[in-house]
Chains A and B, each alone.
Chain A
């Protein structure tokens, strides 16, 4: 069992020519799989490289297992790093790559051979040991990069978008590999990605970053169901975002009056609506707020619905987008609500553009922030 470390990042500010990090505060528990999620250019790689010691922060500190490593050079931090495009040493064989870190520690040849064989067996690359990196596929290179980082038993593993350069088929397989490795080795891992689904699949907790700042931290559930801001909601794929005003309603619920002229993200012009639609919600907030509803929380029907859902509206289908296994149906009430249904449902209900339908969703399904 290797000893894995907790990581604390305190008030980190990094200033590089093109990238900046502002006031980053993170807490990663020992053995946790922590995901840093954000759009490209948000500074995720810089954050990772700074934790590894490859950049000097202008302010703040980094603690590994309680030990302040801010001024410790990268070679003494015990951190493994895997870049998005693997960065295998082209002048060495696969075995040479994996053994690189071990050779630096002046281990004897047999010990090195044993470690390399062990890790390559774990990652199912034993048949590749004598090959050159240039002859390997993306997935194979990624495993070699992982093996190279893990064989030196780091306290912390940093993964910089390790799956982004792979094609979708390989990505899923390697995603499962990463989960399995984490289960078996329990190395504290910080994994950076722009893919929300990947974050949800792998992460114990997620930190969303944007433009060099941490915007929200929480479990995948929390981020998914309760995004803190419009940016987070948009980023994690919430399609129905509205702006409006909350006031107390009767029978214990609050009423969210959607702004008539600005329809949040769905952007359809409201035309001459004087009043926006009113939605029953459950919230402690009041005044000007955002509201979001996940597409899967909205039910569509051809007939008016009689259900426990507090919100039901009539509308017209304005868009049907086929995404293979699921279909996104946009219904203009107004405003536009995007729901997701299976293909089968689409066919059974014979839904198509222009049709008048009814939608319904519970008050508790509306996330107000």
Chain B
């Protein structure tokens, strides 16, 4: 603690830093304490609110799942292989972060809309993107997959390729070397990336609102209530969202960081 105020420079840094911390904490605290528990309970009982929160969680989970299936192999390739145009691929993965999300939504609409090739192809299987849950998943996937891919890639980069080579000499095919060595060792980073991506998806607004205003995810519901009825009516929903997200996020982080150490003995793996 003393170290924080050890000298004038540190004290100044503490002051500047505190401004930012307060900037985050104060509004959140005010919002969370603004509604009484009774009002919060009422809001929770509101079916529209419950459905909205459930949809948000579920859609982000599906988006994370898709990103996992395609993103982890991609991350592995980026970590291990060198190929011409690799810089381009890495750039493309990072683009969704810098593009305004509503613009991303428009871009997705251009290829997933009702009259597009993909839109019609999926339509044959009864999957609709515009104003439907799959569209929400697509929007969330688009804007937050970089978190998962980059975290996974860093995880794989931290695994010495020679560990995989030793596994090969011991009789492992490339598949088994991946599943028994590379993946377990990169798992912490991958999980971190998944949590981050899922949390980011929960708060997605811009891309979702273009592709699928309805059914409403929680951020969209919140916006509509605010526009239509004002602060008082939308505040409890905001409080609820903040509390639920914080709780889930904290729980997941704790689980990720405190995985019990693996037991020794022959029952390993």
Contact = CB atoms under 8 A, between A and B. Distances in A.
Does A associate with B in a complex? yes
Interface of A: 49, 52-54, 73-77, 79-81, 83, 87, 89-96, 99-101, 103-105, 109, 112-113, 116, 129-132, 148-149, 152
Contact of A89 (B163, B173, B265): B163
Contact of B170 (A83, A94, A95, A152): A152
Contacts of A148: 166, 170
A52 B167 contact: no
Contacts of B263: 93
B169 interface: yes
Contacts of A89: 163, 167, 181, 185
Contact of A81 (B160, B169, B269): B169
Nearest to B171: A104
Contacts of A104: 170-172, 176
Given A74-B165, A92-B269, 13 more contacts: A75-B172, A91-B184, A95-B266, A95-B268, A96-B265, A96-B268, A99-B266, A99-B268, A112-B266, A113-B266, A116-B266, A130-B265, A131-B264
Query: Which 4 residue pairs are nearest across A and B when measured between Cβ atoms?
Result: A130-B264, A101-B170, A96-B268, A93-B264
Contacts of B269: 92, 96, 103
Contact of B264 (A52, A76, A96, A116): A96
Contacts of B268: 92-93, 95-96, 99
B8 interface: no
Nearest to B173: A75
29 contacts: A49-B165, A53-B168, A53-B169, A54-B165, A73-B173, A74-B168, A75-B169, A75-B171, A75-B172, A79-B169, A80-B169, A80-B170, A87-B162, A92-B269, A93-B265, A93-B268, A95-B265, A95-B268, A96-B264, A99-B266, A100-B170, A101-B170, A103-B269, A105-B171, A109-B266, A130-B265, A148-B166, A149-B169, A152-B170
Nearest to A103: B269
Nearest to B184: A91
Nearest to B82: A17
Interface string B245-269: 0000000000000000011111011
Contacts, number: 89
Contacts of B163: 87, 89
A73 B177 CA distance: 13
A200 to B, nearest CB: 28
B84 to A, nearest CB: 14
A91 B262 contact: yes
Contacts of A92: 262, 268-269
A175 to B, nearest CB: 22
Given A87-B162, A89-B181, A96 B169 contact: no
Contacts of A49: 165
B172 A81 contact: no
Nearest to A86: B166
A100 B167 contact: yes
A112 B269 CA distance: 14
A207 B42 CA distance: 83
B148 to A, nearest CB: 21
A327 to B, nearest CB: 42
Contacts of B166: 81, 83, 87, 148
A93 B262 CA distance: 8
B160 to A, nearest CB: 7
Contacts of A112: 266
A76 B184 CA distance: 24
A73 B170 CA distance: 12
B161 to A, nearest CB: 9
Contacts of A94: 264
Contact of B171 (A93, A95, A152): A152
B181 to A, nearest CB: 6
A27 to B, nearest CB: 22
Contacts of B264: 93-96, 129-132
B101 to A, nearest CB: 38
Nearest to B261: A132
Contacts of A100: 167, 170, 180
Given A49-B165, A83-B166, A87-B163, A101 B266 contact: no
Contacts of A132: 264
Contacts of B171: 75-76, 101, 104-105, 152
A100 B95 CA distance: 41
Nearest to B159: A90
Nearest to B177: A75
Contacts of B167: 89, 100
Contacts of A87: 160, 162-163, 165-166
Contacts of A130: 264-265
Contacts of B173: 73, 75
A132 B263 CA distance: 10
Contact of B168 (A73, A83, A109): A73
Contacts of A96: 264-266, 268-269
B249 to A, nearest CB: 26
A336 B152 CA distance: 61
A258 B189 CA distance: 66
A54 B161 CA distance: 11
